[in-house]
Chains A and B, each alone.
Chain A
Amino acid sequence: MARFLIRRLVLLVAVLFAVTFLGFSAMNFLGDPLFNVVGLMAELDCEGIEAGTVEDTSMDRARSDCETVAAARAEYHLDRPVPVRYVLWVSDLATGDFGTSFQNDQPVSEIIREKLPETLILLVMAQIVSLGVAIPWGVFAAYRANRAFDRTSTVVSFGLLSVPNFALAVVLLYLLALRWQVFPSAYESDTAVGLVFSMILPAVTLGLPLAASYQRLLRTDLITTLQEDFVHMARAKGLPPMRIMFRHALRPSMFSVVTVFGVSTGAMIGGSLVVEQIFGIPGIGREIVTAVVRDDFPVVLAIVMLVACAFVIINFMVDLLYGWLDPRVRAR
């Protein structure tokens, strides 16, 4: 177990290194790094201003601005060699210093702290919705495998997996919020109940396609499990079929679902960008899209790094969990 752990940890560190390096590269090699950290001020001709060859309408301001640029150069170590810069940048990141937003001079870490809860609530609710839908659905599909219900549900899940997230959001918004007015059409935050209620529709949008894939996995595993001896045994004892399904067969069949949990979280994070947009949820997904539009690069980079690292770590933990669940995986 210890060896397994160490190997996974090494891989984790290596991947985190690579992920942050990619982000760092995006900042430094896609476009001008100075522009990416100070915005338009990067265009100032500071040498000219210092030498007095360039006249600005307000030399005082231009000079103070050049000081700012110089300070930013120092802060981001732009005059140091690339590897040094990377190390310094990552250590800033690790201590929670994500830089400052161009737009309102707010520390990026503060912005993330404000916006993250909404996104987390959404993701958790979406997982609840998907499991809540997928488990009964998968159980019934497996219980009557290859019968009418199962065949229909195959078609339905195939369809659900083919609807782009944003299209599903628009359809659900139209049907459930506008047509039948079951749910509110936009985010509410006045009360906790209102918040959760207004998040149902977005969570369903994210959760339904996931439920379809969970359902397929669960159904397959359940069909296998139902062949096992202990199920036959339970049947022979005359236990009611639903009791067998839920009490005996379900748990051993959740393996695949647990496995894809990490990956599905990644898919959901991508989906949440779109869903937060359309339902007006002030989470990090909406924040990153806003930031991209405004070329607010520190915010974009910080959120990408946060999400990617979270994703890597979630997968790492799922991996560990998996190894813990099934000793054969960690055997070598």
Chain B
Amino acid sequence: MSAATRASRQGKESRQRLLRRFRIVRLVRRGRTPEDSPDDAAVRRRLGVGFWLAIVWLVAIAFVALFAPMLPIADPTEVAFGGPRESPSLDAWFGTDALGRDVFSRTMYGARISLAVGGFAIVFGMVVGGALGILAGYYRGRLDQAVGFVFFVLLSFPALVLAILITATLERSLLVVSLTIGILAVAPVGLLARASTLVYAEREFVAAARVLGAKHGRIIVRELLPNVVIPMGALTLLGMAVAVVAEGSLAFLGLSVAGDDAISWGKMIVDGAGLRDLQNATHVAMLPVAVMFVTVLALNFAGDRIRQYFDVKELPF
């Protein structure tokens, strides 16, 4: 039996409490903390300058990632583009790494894998998790219990450990890594979709459709889906932030996309994180760290603002 089902049968007060607890659990799981409701109210319907700054950064990164091969930047794989471990200069804005490659250009290309994996993973999570969640929330009963259980099991693995179990057995291609991280996204997104569906399935327009003789499929697609997609979409950026970090961690452990042309921030950071390099050529590791940090921060910040803007409530799990 899923936690939420149980919650619905309890007294109002304890349910509130439980909801709160689950909400906290979810938020922490995603690496965030709950906001105070007054704060929420204050920022709602107002995105603010910070949001637009974050969006500008993200758009810029996405643009660079998409069009990197067409931009007038150095070939990221060109060895001895400059001398090894040169400090940032006008020729190489981020300096060069141990093989004399241009760190700036590598950082730009590194965005490609991060965003590709992040994007794919969250889309996968939304499609699979969303579908399961809506079905579970709409049909309830056995199906709901089964899906809830699957989600619970998926959440029983520490994320990185589950990812390692998968990447340990399969070839580490872009698709496998994306899928792996996508699987991690299924349970959280699915629980969100299920919760939203539970809410909307009780609403009058769904009841009306049912009275009018609409089939289940039609109700789900025409009535529920549009309503459930909005809260899920509002959390896209937050989900991407988690996926980008997950990919980075795998890459840092050498378990992300393999191949000599697979440039990834995590890989770049490992490459520069040897003690001697860290001491003598700090920029090799620190500049990718900085870019990655700003990107994740921007995703989190913009995602949080969007969540508040669309008034997506805390999730009951």
Contact = CB atoms under 8 A, between A and B. Distances in A.
Interface of A: 7, 11, 14-15, 18-19, 22-23, 26-27, 30-31, 36, 157-159, 161-167, 170-171, 173-174, 178, 185, 209, 212-213, 215-217, 220, 223, 256, 259-260, 263-264, 266-267, 269-271, 273-274, 277-278, 288-289, 291-293, 295, 297, 300-301, 303-304, 307-308, 311-312, 315, 322, 326, 328-329, 331-332
Interface in B153-196: 153, 156-162, 164-170
Contact of B300 (A14, A158, A301): A158
Contacts of A213: 28, 31-33
Contact of B297 (A162, A217, A266, A295): A162
A307 B28 contact: no
Contacts of A274: 160, 249, 252-253
Contacts of A300: 164-165, 168
* Best-surrounded residue of A213, A215, A291 (most CB of chain B within 10 A): A213
B24 A259 contact: yes
Contacts, number: 200
Contacts of B254: 289, 293
Given A19-B156, A167-B269, A332 B10 contact: yes
B266 interface: yes
A113 to B, nearest CB: 19
Contact of A273 (B1, B20, B28, B164): B164
Contacts of A269: 158, 160-161
B253 A19 contact: no
Contacts of B150: 18
A164 B25 contact: no
Contacts of A7: 1
Contacts of A292: 164, 167-168, 255
Nearest to B163: A270
A256 B29 CA distance: 13
Interface residues of B, number: 63
Nearest to A292: B168
Interface in B1-60: 1, 6, 9-11, 13-14, 17-18, 20-21, 24-25, 28-29, 31-34, 36
Given A213-B32, A292-B255, A164 B292 contact: yes
Interface stretch (B78-86, B122-130, B281-289): B281-289
Contacts of B225: none
Contacts of A15: 149, 152-153, 156
Contact of B31 (A27, A161, A308): A161
A170 B285 contact: yes
Given A23-B165, A213-B32, A328-B14, 5 more contacts: A36-B169, A166-B269, A293-B254, A307-B158, A328-B13
Interface stretch (B89-97, B135-143, B227-235, B272-280): B272-280
B14 A161 contact: no
Nearest to A295: B168
